[in-house]
Amino acid sequence: MSFIPNRAMYVPIKTDKRNKRWSEPKIIIFSFLAILIPGAILLTLPVFSVSGLSFVDALFTATSAISVTGLGVVDTGTHFTTSGKVLLMILMQIGGLGQMTLSAVLLYMFGLRVSLRQQSLTKEQLGQEKFTNIRLLVKHIIIFVIVCELIGTFFLSLRWVPMMGWDKGLFTAVFHSISAFNNAGFSLFSDNLTQYVDDPLVIITIAMLFILGGLGFTVISDLQRNSHRGFHFLSLHSKIMIIATPILLLVGTIMIWLLEHDNMQTLGSLNTSGQWLAAFFQSATVRTAGFNSVNIGAFTEPGLLVLMLLMLIGAGSTSTGGGIKVSTFVVAILATWSFLKQRDRVVLFKRTISNQTVTKSLAIIVVSGIVLLIAMFALMLTEKAPFYEVMFETISAFATVGVTAGLSATLSEPGKYIIIVVMIIGRLGPLTLAYMLARPKPTLLSYPEDNVAAG
């Protein structure tokens, strides 16, 4: 067929109804719901809670655990029985690993064959290349998770076993170690970790766990493969994460200290070392961990704005954390800088970032903004709360952070459902939902280029 100027080119494409129906995004979403719904139903049973739990509260809690968010409508430490707390740990571990990784683990454990589609989905969820040995990768991930959580349990036991005894102290250490590494933010203490605000053993141990979990399995596996070869041989993604993570931690710590060190309800009542420890912990935790060692609701409005920006940036891709992701943020900044410098390519560490990656990063930011605006508007209709509380809670849910300015405890039933949807979208990724909702077309049309006045 010849090309006709100013007319669309028509190229027929064969479509497979089965692929259309069971696309990767749909499989990921339905597998997530297949774990979420039974988990919520289980939490309503008397054996898992002390005084019972309504379905909406159980669904909220299960969603918060599987999406490793940490927002709660009940007190975790007093409302759930030991069985309920164990169930929450299981849900948090599933959420941190990802349902596709977990299903691959179970199939390998029982000696069953992992299908090519299953391998493809697992690699996609973990951000791996097509040639990656998925069995070896999953093995390394499980070993890394277990080792980190055991080390975390050991150090936390040093504090809590002498205080609570072996049974309760060890269980508390295990619960918080799993919650921290998976960036979940659930705590068995009613005040979260505020009573340990200036305790370096507890604060630093938990911070190191969620920082490691937030780096991403892709970065960890890359470091394992190339640790003996040096920084130059790491992937561009790993280089971005290794450099951007400490920069964000440092900038966040300094900003929080500057804005809150005179606030007697947050950092002001602590000595200098305690203030810096608390500022560091809040800087690290709001990038998706969800713990808090000071009262977040007492932050000044400028301080809350800094926290919201850190929440939006989030952790690393393929990690246990959420947010738009550090790499997405860095690519968007670099793309903007390249445009301002009138460069036609985005370059970092002598590597050109593909246009597809740049477009995807910008799309994630735009779709995330749309989701947040819709959710905030809906919550303003259902909740009688200040705008900053609505904004903070929505971003916390979307970025799967879990820190709260006080709104979660007073949410109406419609408000709970709104936050549930936001947590699910935040964990699965806004683009996953967008891909699922987009209808694939049976034809491909190629139109001539034209310009639009922008800016």
- Would you say residue 449 lies in a domain? no
What's the domain range around 313?
A: 24-113+132-434
Angle, helices 82-97 vs 24-43, to 10°: value is 170
What's the token pair of residue 40?
A: 């919520």
Q: Which amino acid is at 286?
A: V
- Would you say residue 309 lies in a domain? yes
- How many separate domains does the chain show? 1
Nearest alpha carbon to residue 353 among 208, 236, 184: 236
Q: What is the pTM of this model?
A: 0.84
Nearest alpha carbon to residue 291 among 195, 403, 389, 398: 403
Residue 7: what pLDDT?
42
Backbone angles phi, psi at 352, to 5 degrees: -90, 125
Q: Are the beta carbons of 29 and 390 closer than 8 angstroms? A: no
- Would you say residue 123 lies in a domain? no
What's the token pair of residue 115?
A: 């299908």
- Would you say residue 321 lies in a domain? yes
What's the token pair of residue 209?
A: 């766990």
Residue 60: what pLDDT?
92
How many degrees, rounded to 5, is the angle at CA 235 between CA 231 and CA 239?
55
- Would you say residue 74 lies in a domain? yes
Question: Which residue ranges in the chain fall short of pLDDT 50?
Answer: 1-20, 107, 110, 112
Quote the CA–CA distance of 413 and 421 in Å, as a whole number: 13
- Would you say residue 10 lies in a domain? no
The b-or-e profile of 240-268 (16+ CB within 10 A means b, else e) is bbbebbeebbeebbebbbebbbebeebbe
Residue 352: what pLDDT?
87
- Would you say residue 69 lies in a domain? yes
Distances (CA, A) of 290 to 45, 64, 96, 314: 26, 11, 14, 11
* Three-state SS at 239: helix
Distances (CA, A) of 136 to 132, 142, 197: 9, 10, 40
Per residue in 134-144, pLDDT (tens digit) is 666 677 778 88
- Would you say residue 455 lies in a domain? no
Residue 152: what pLDDT?
95
Per residue in 403-433, pLDDT (tens digit) is 888 788 888 999 999 999 999 888 877 666 6
Residue 290: what pLDDT?
83
